[in-house]
Amino acid sequence: MMSDNLKKVDLSCISWKVIKNDGLDLEYTVPIPRSIADGILKELEETLTFFTGDLAKIKVFGKIYPLPRQQVAYGDPGITYTYSGITIPALPWPEPVLMLRDFLFTLKGIKYEFVLVNKYRNGNDHMGEHRDNEPDLDPKYPIASISFGEERP
Ligand SMILES: O=C(O)CCC(=O)C(=O)O
């Protein structure tokens, strides 16, 4: 399994960059070598299936829209996440997503209990500008984001 290779990532080479601004406190790094990252993306593509039906719709100012991206959520049993007028259930962790959770624990010492996966199929899929200020999020813990695939221009 390609995600097993995360255990081989040399953590001593990782350098973090920091961006601090009004209301922004961000640390970022590119810790996964391209060859490993591409394999993990392939494994994710082969493993994950995305929400359909009502779970693939959002409500903005009372109006219902189809999501302009694909989405699925995983987490510990019983967790749900409510945002933009929908409540999504956490499905059981698939193996490659668990490996990424373990990788984040190794990197930051935080054991995340939930993940929202967003897939942007092409240049039309997107995520609007937003604040992650949902009541379900615990402000004591930072949000972690891992991106795979193409760079956006
Ligand atoms: O896909 C991304 O990295 C952005 C995700 C995001 O902003 C969110 O899920 O709230």
Q: How far is CA 88 from CA 12, 17, 48, 58, 79, in A?
A: 37, 33, 16, 11, 9
* Confidence (pTM): 0.93
How high is the pLDDT of residue 151?
82
122: buried, middle or exposed (CB in 10 Å: 19+, 13-18, 0-12)?
exposed
Type and span of the H or E element at 74 = strand 70-75
Residue 13: pLDDT over 90: no
Best mutation site among 24, 112, 145, 148 for ligand 1, i.e. most ligand atoms within 8 A of its Cβ?
145
Nearest Cα residue to 78 out of 95, 93, 90: 90
Token digits of residue 75: 């987490």
Percent over 70 (pLDDT), the chain: 99
124 in a known ligand binding site: no
